């Protein structure tokens, strides 16, 4: 069973989120003007109180001007400082009762400060994008900013008509009026606040694959001048989608979009049903294909199956890293064991001070966590054998679809599929800092299904990506 709430604040970010209630649905109506970087918005938040009556609660929101706050239509007492909007309703909300919060805000959005630089809303030379992991969501909307609190979203964005708006979910309507256009997206799947993605820019739209054949609708949004390179770099994404559905189970959302900005990004960023890439990730030579696989895999591992708090981030990154290796060995590249051996050599030469199960805030995005996470998954595969391992992996994504999990939930799940106890393996890889020996023996790729999709070779025809 998925873990729906943690008992208290996130140990890495205690100022973010409020475990005393959970949100069922956000309805965000935004108006954004790129020139002056001006954002105004209204949020209608449908929530449910926890086991105790709520005499007060908090939302996270950056330094905007607050126009109005209402709780069930009535004016509460509130304070707004230090990124926290503290609200005291006119009368306490009963334990387990539904309630609605309405917030109006406006100002110039900017990233929130973090140990990794600015996070959240980022103004571009001609547009904007949102990259919130882990605590950047309050840079643009009021939210219960904790990964365990997953909700449905409807997002309406009005912006000048020259710009396209891309958000995770299904585009419901696009309505032009005078010089502006309003885009309305619906994401019904449970979504953590940090996974709400948004991009505003002058993009050309392309379709990847053919959803008319029963596949997942996949779209790309990019500057027109990057279309030749994009067509080659992303040509095999539909095949990736087919492979990952074979291995992990059905794609957990209704559609998948990728955005390429005109500007460079340090790393691509996953959001729910959406991934953001920089122009530096498009070279026409498939130089970033492993990152395309990594971000797609996050739709299962991290987005659909979400960690209950940030101590467990290796579950997101280790499984997505291993998906890179699986794609490599199934598409004519190096096998997973060879890639694992390279990762092991790299880690062996680095400090041995990373505790994978609880890396601490300082090391939660350390490159070693990604590599050791992938190696841990590989060690489990080697110990279990392919048949049990891939049944386990598909079961993990299926059983916890839309839910939240922890490391202990994962190890218990793995143990149910293993023929022998794996306690020593878990201790060595997850709960000790010293790097264990490279797991072995080498494993073989999983057996193909009876009617496998085609995984094209590296010289596949890029015409599979069609412009619209």
Long-range contacts of 179-186 (CB under 8 A, 24+ apart): 182/156, 182/157, 182/158, 183/156, 183/157, 183/158, 183/159, 184/154, 184/155, 184/156, 185/153, 185/154, 185/155, 185/156, 186/153, 186/154
What radius of gyration do the chain's Cα atoms show?
Answer: 22
Q: Which of 122, 229, 289, 295 is catalytic?
A: 295
Strands (E), 196-292: 198-201, 204-208, 218-222, 256-260, 269-271, 274-277
Q: Report how far residue 217's alpha carbon sits from residue 147's, in angstroms, rounded to the nearest whole number.
A: 26
Which of 32, 33, 41, 93 shows the shortest CA–CA distance to 62?
41
Q: Report how far residue 160's alpha carbon sits from residue 180's, in angstroms, rounded to the nearest whole number.
A: 4
Task: Classify the phi-psi angles of 214: left when phi > 0, otherwise alpha if psi is within -120 to 50, otherwise beta.
Answer: left
Q: Is residue 153 annotated as a catalytic residue, yes or no?
A: no
The tokens describing 4, both together, are 């729906």
Q: Report how far residue 251's alpha carbon sits from residue 319's, in angstroms, rounded to the nearest whole number.
A: 15
- CB contact at 8 A, 57 and 17: no
Q: Is residue 295 annotated as a catalytic residue, yes or no?
A: yes
Q: Report how far residue 254's alpha carbon sits from residue 451's, in angstroms, rounded to the nearest whole number.
A: 23
Q: Report how far residue 274's alpha carbon sits from residue 189's, in angstroms, rounded to the nearest whole number.
A: 13
Give the phi and the psi of residue 408 in degrees, each rounded to 5.
Answer: -65, -35
Q: Which of 12, 185, 370, 417 is catalytic?
A: 370
Find out whether 294 is annotated in a ligand binding site: yes
Burial 383-406 (b: 16+ CB within 10 A, else e): bbeeebbbebbbbbbeebbebbbb
Positions marked active-site: 295, 370
- List residues forming the annotated binding site for Zn(2+): 294, 298, 317
Known binding-site residue numbers: 294, 298, 317
């Amino acid at each position: 069973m998925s873990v729906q709430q943690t008992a208290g604040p996130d140990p890495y970010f205690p100022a973010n989120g409020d475990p005393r209630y959970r949100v069922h649905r956000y309805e965000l109506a935004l108006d954004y003007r790129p020139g002056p970087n001006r954002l105004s918005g209204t949020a209608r938040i449908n929530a449910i109180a926890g086991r105790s009556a709520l005499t007060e609660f908090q939302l996270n929101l950056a330094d905007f001007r607050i126009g109005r706050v209402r709780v069930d239509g009535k004016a509460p007492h509130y304070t707004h400082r230090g990124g926290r909007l503290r609200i005291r309703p006119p009368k306490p909300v009963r334990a387990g009762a539904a309630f609605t919060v309405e917030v109006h805000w406006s100002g110039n959005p900017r990233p929130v400060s973090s140990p990794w630089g600015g996070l959240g809303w980022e103004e571009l030379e001609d547009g904007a994008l949102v990259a919130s992991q882990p605590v950047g969501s309050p840079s643009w909307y009021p939210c219960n900013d904790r990964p365990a609190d997953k909700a449905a979203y409807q997002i309406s964005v009005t912006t000048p008509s020259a710009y396209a708006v891309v958000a995770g979910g299904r585009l419901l309507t696009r309505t032009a009026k005078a010089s502006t256009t309003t885009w309305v997206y619906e994401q019904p799947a449970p979504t953590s606040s940090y996974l709400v993605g948004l991009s505003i820019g002058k993009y050309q739209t392309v379709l990847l694959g053919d959803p008319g054949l029963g596949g997942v609708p996949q779209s790309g949004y990019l500057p027109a001048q990057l279309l030749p390179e994009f067509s080659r770099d992303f040509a095999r994404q539909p095949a990736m989608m087919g492979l990952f559905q074979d291995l992990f189970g059905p794609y957990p959302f209704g559609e998948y979009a990728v955005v390429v900005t005109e500007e460079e990004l340090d790393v691509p960023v996953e959001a729910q049903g959406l991934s953001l890439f920089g122009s530096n990730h498009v070279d026409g030579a498939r130089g970033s294909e492993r990152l395309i696989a990594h971000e797609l895999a996050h739709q299962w591992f991290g987005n659909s199956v979400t960690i209950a708090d940030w101590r467990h981030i290796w579950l997101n990154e280790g499984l997505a890293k291993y998906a890179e290796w699986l794609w490599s060995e199934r598409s004519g590249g190096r096998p997973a064991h060879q890639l694992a051996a390279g990762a092991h050599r790299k880690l062996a030469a680095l400090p041995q001070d990373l505790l994978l199960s609880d890396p601490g805030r300082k090391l939660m995005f350390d490159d070693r966590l990604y590599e050791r996470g992938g190696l841990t998954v590989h060690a489990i595969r080697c110990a279990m054998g392919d048949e049990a391992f891939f049944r386990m992996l598909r079961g993990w994504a299926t059983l916890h679809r839309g839910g939240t999990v922890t490391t202990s939930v994962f190890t218990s799940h793995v143990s149910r599929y293993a023929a022998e106890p794996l306690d020593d393996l878990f201790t060595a890889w997850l709960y000790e800092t010293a790097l264990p020996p490279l797991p072995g023996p080498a494993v073989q790729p999983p057996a193909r299904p009876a009617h496998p999709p085609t995984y094209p070779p590296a010289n596949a025809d890029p015409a599979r990506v069609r412009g619209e």
